[in-house]
Amino acid sequence: MNRTRGFTLIELLVVIAIVSLLAALLIPALHRARMHAQRVVCAANIRDMGTAVHLYAQGFEGRLPPMNEVRPAQTAGHYSRWFRSGDDTWWNLGFVWRAGMIGNPKVLYCPSPDVRFKYKYYCEPEFPSSSLVEDNPGTRISYMYNPICVSVEDRRRRFTRLEQLKASKTLLLCDSILDGSVPHMGGWNVMVGDFSIRQVLDPRILELVQTHRGGIMEDDYAHFDEILELMRR
């Protein structure tokens, strides 16, 4: 009489150990692949925004989108990732959106889960809606636009016209370093003045960003500018 033989306890333990080992090997690889895919999408977003900025400048006599309709210089918080304030004042790439040169608002948001500002926060009932934070309304994006200022003392934008962006070390767009955001496993996508994109992996940037997890404020302009300089190298 034939008898069906089952697995012994030792055999089951061996199978479980093998499956656990494979999972331990594969899960980190899958995570890295997912992070890489998000970085590629992020770079594509920055490329689309850079194209839109170029089109905007061509349509406005070579002028780049300004920081704000009424504010001439940055103050506390830097505002380089502001899009629209609660009083419907437009900022930065908000001008490009208003001019119809950005069609998909999702390109304004990095897909990394490790950034603070996400598209889903500002798309109800339609984009751009205001933040749910009552004491700080407005729309923000997860990228910094044209963040370099004249100096620590003079917080006006250094680059205001398209012809000033010829130098390859001009920082035009990048993943935000404000509010402690650390996307892409500690790397930041950066677009420079010739509209090329690269990834910056620098432990000094990571250390400075983590030092200011609560946000880089007015009394930390020197650190903010130091990070931007490291991104341009």
pLDDT digits (tens, 9 = 90+) for 59-110: 999 999 999 988 878 877 788 999 998 888 999 999 999 999 999 999 999 9
Query: Residue 64 has what DSSP assignment?
Result: P
Flag whether pLDDT at 35 surpasses 80.
no
More confident call, 77 vs 143: 143
At 54, the pLDDT band (50, 70, 90 cuts) reads: very high
Residue 209: C-alpha distances to residues 119, 148, 158 (Å)? 22, 17, 23
Q: What whole-number distance in Å separates Cα of residue 166 and Cα of residue 228?
A: 18
What was the pLDDT predicted at 140? 93
Query: What number is the average pLDDT over the span 149-159?
Result: 91
Least confident of 6-15, 100-109, 123-132: 6-15
What was the pLDDT predicted at 6? 62
End-to-end CA distance of the chain: 78
Task: Note whether 95 and 107 are within 8 A (CB).
Answer: no
What was the pLDDT predicted at 4? 58
HEC assignment per residue over 126-179: CCCCCCCCCCCCEEECCEEECCCECCCCCCCECCCEHHHHCCCCCEEEEECCHH
Flag whether pLDDT at 7 surpasses 70.
no
Q: What whole-number distance in Å separates Cα of residue 156 and Cα of residue 221?
A: 13
Query: What number is the average pLDDT over the span 39-52?
Result: 96
Residue 180: C-alpha distances to residues 17, 136, 150, 168, 187 (Å)? 39, 18, 24, 27, 13
What was the pLDDT predicted at 193? 92
What was the pLDDT predicted at 173? 96
Closest to 232 in 3D by CA, of 176, 169, 173: 169
Q: What is the pLDDT of residues 172-201, one digit of tens each?
A: 999 998 877 888 988 899 999 999 999 999
pTM: 0.85
What was the pLDDT predicted at 47? 97
More confident call, 35 vs 114: 114
Q: What whole-number distance in Å separates Cα of residue 59 and Cα of residue 147?
A: 22
CA dihedral in degrees (76, 81, 84, 90; nearest 10)?
90
Closest to 16 in 3D by CA, of 4, 6, 8: 8
What was the pLDDT predicted at 168? 78
Find how far residue 93's CA is from the centre of its chain.
Answer: 13
What was the pLDDT predicted at 31? 61
What was the pLDDT predicted at 128? 92
Residues comprising the chain, all counted = 233
Flag whether pLDDT at 125 surpasses 80.
yes
Q: What angle do CA 91, 212, 169 make, to 5 degrees?
A: 60
Tokens in use for 148? 């370099």
CB atoms within 10 A of CB 87: 9
